Amino acid sequence: MLQQLFFGYYAFTIIILSLLVVTRRNPVHSVMWMLLLFFHIAGLYLFLNAEFIAAIQVIVYAGAILVLFLFVVLLLNLKEEISLKQFVGSWPAGLFVTGLLFVSVVSVLGSYIQGPIGKYSIAAVRSETHTKALGKLLYTEYLFPFEIASLILLVAVIGAIVLAKRKLRS
């Protein structure tokens, strides 16, 4: 019962916060609501026994990405921004399509068939700790994708510099 209540709180808050994020006129407010949203998602992860994921959710998303967003938002002209409508003209179409898509996705949930259960039972992860279990897997079986991810980050770093840098001349 407590679990349901707990999930209910998180689910409700996450949805409300998501709505606030996409509807606020002022981008700074959106970012702030998003910050709160990310913390709640991290909480949900904890609830699902994924403490390492919860940790990087907070560190990377809330700590790094959102701050980056905030920086960029502050570069924009906020005064003009908040005096304008936040939605494009065709927003009802977007709403309609999204709604229908939601209905159709939800309607297939009933036909979900569970696959085979893996070896990482809650108890097994707990005994080893989540971080270690993930780390083992990451550095053995998923070593190659991991290296590629590092390369992607490198490319992103270089790309961001190249794109954001002003042209030397002109």
Smallest separation, CB 137 to another protein (Å) = 5
Distance (Å, rounded) from C-alpha 29 to C-alpha 15? Answer: 16
Question: Considering beta carbons, is residue 127 or 160 the nearer one to another protein?
Answer: 160
Q: Is residue 82 a contact partner of residue 26, using CB atoms and an 8 Å limit?
A: yes
User: Which is closer to another protein, CB of 127 or CB of 149?
Assistant: 149
| Closest CB 99 distance from another protein, rounded Å | 8
Q: CB 21 → another protein: shortest distance, Å? A: 6
Compute the least distance from the CB of residue 63 to another protein, in Å: 11
Give the span between the Cα atoms of 7 and 130, in whole angstroms.
21
CB nearer to another protein: give 127 or 157.
157
Contact 61, 45 (CB under 8 A): no
Q: Which of 52, 22, 51, 48 is nearest to 34 (CA)?
A: 22
What does the longest C-alpha to C-alpha distance in the chain come to? 66
